[in-house]
Amino acid sequence: MTIPDATAPETRVWTSLTSEEKRARVLDVAGELFAREGVEFPMPELAKAVGVGVGSLYRQIGKKDDVIAALVIERLDALGDRYESAAGTDDAMGALSGVIDATVQECVHDRVTKMCWEFGFGRDDVDTARGRARNALQHLIDSAKDAGGLREDASGNDLRFLFRAAREAEKIEPGGAARLGELVFSGLAK
Q: Is 117 found in the same domain as 151? A: yes
pLDDT tens digits, 17-73? 898 999 999 999 999 999 999 999 999 999 999 989 999 888 888 899 999 999 999
Q: Is 89 found in the same domain as 31? A: no
Q: Is 135 found in the same domain as 106? A: yes
| Cα–chain center distance at 109 | 10
Q: Which domain holds residue 42?
A: 16-62
Of the candidates 166, 187, 156, 165, the residue with the CA atom closest to the CA atom of residue 105: 166
Q: Is 33 found in the same domain as 112? A: no
Domain CATH code at residue 99 = 1.10.357
The pLDDT confidence band at residue 145, using thresholds 50, 70 and 90, is very high
